[in-house]
């Protein structure tokens, strides 16, 4: 099953000397950066509307009224873009038996002794947690955001319901900021990871060290061809 997923996603070993592995195609990278840009714009505009001390941030969007108008529409773009990303990546982020072992050895992970841990597929348990946390939080944000969108839904949502939605929206926003920070920090901390989303490829050494099971399966595909 995993070989079929990899063949459909376009992952492959592109060169042998030196070993270069394609991790993300152009469409996935564009999809990712649209999602990331939308999320950053939402965080800035949302914080600007959240507290008077941060209202000055509305100047980046042309003022308070423009920010209030743009914020929900950027949210729609984020939801649609992440939905496409979800369809691309969901299967590869399903839990695997090696994830529990990986999570139970934080010392080896932080010290870079990954050779003592089980071989991993395309994503480790930490990446999977970030993926599913983003999925849940974006669903909460879009659902509560629609309830709060007075321009279109003021007449069908009561004030008490809108107040609850506002509270949940704010809580989800704080949590997704935390998840986003973890995601960015992990990408910077794990050297060579950002290259995957800028150039689409990683080195063979990076793939062997961090995602050896994934590399082995790609090598098997390279020899036998895509699974039927």
pLDDT in tens, 165-219: 999 999 999 999 999 999 999 999 888 899 999 999 999 999 999 999 999 999 9
224 located within any domain: no
162 located within any domain: yes
Number of domains in the chain: 1
Cα of 109 vs its chain's centroid, Å: 20
204 located within any domain: no
172 located within any domain: yes
What would the DSSP string read from start to end of 106-133?
HHHHHHT-GGGS----SS-HHHHHHHHH
For residue 205, give both structure tokens: 């050494």
The verdict on pTM exceeding 0.85 is yes
- Say how far apart CA 177 and CA 118 lie, in whole Å: 30
219 located within any domain: no
15 located within any domain: no
101 contact partners, CB below 8 Å, separation of at least 6: 117, 118
Closest among 28, 37, 31 to 75, alpha carbons compared: 37
**What is the domain range of residue 94?**
24-105+117-199
62 located within any domain: yes
The residues annotated as belonging to the active site are 183
14 located within any domain: no
Q: State the CATH number of the domain containing residue 50.
A: 1.20.950.20
């Amino acid at each position: 099953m995993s070989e079929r997923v990899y063949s459909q996603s376009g992952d492959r070993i592109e060169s042998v000397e030196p070993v270069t592995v394609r991790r993300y195609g152009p469409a996935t990278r564009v999809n990712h950066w649209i999602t990331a840009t939308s999320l950053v714009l939402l965080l800035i505009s949302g914080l600007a509307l959240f507290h008077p001390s941060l209202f000055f941030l509305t100047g980046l969007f042309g003022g308070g009224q423009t920010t209030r108008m743009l914020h929900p529409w950027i949210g729609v773009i984020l939801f649609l873009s992440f939905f496409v990303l979800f369809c691309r990546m969901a299967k590869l982020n399903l839990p695997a038996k090696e994830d529990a072992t990986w999570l139970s050895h934080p010392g080896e992970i932080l010290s870079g002794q990954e050779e003592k841990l089980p071989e991993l597929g395309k994503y480790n348990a930490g990446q999977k947690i970030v993926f599913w946390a983003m999925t849940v939080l974006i669903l909460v944000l879009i659902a509560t955001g629609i309830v709060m969108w007075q321009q279109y839904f003021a007449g069908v949502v009561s004030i008490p319901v809108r107040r609850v939605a506002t509270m949940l929206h704010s809580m989800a926003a704080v949590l997704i900021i935390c998840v986003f920070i973890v995601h960015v920090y992990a990408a910077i901390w794990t050297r060579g990871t950002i290259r995957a989303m800028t150039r689409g490829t990683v080195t063979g050494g990076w793939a062997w060290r961090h995602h050896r099971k994934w590399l082995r399966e790609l090598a098997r595909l390279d020899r036998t061809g895509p699974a039927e």
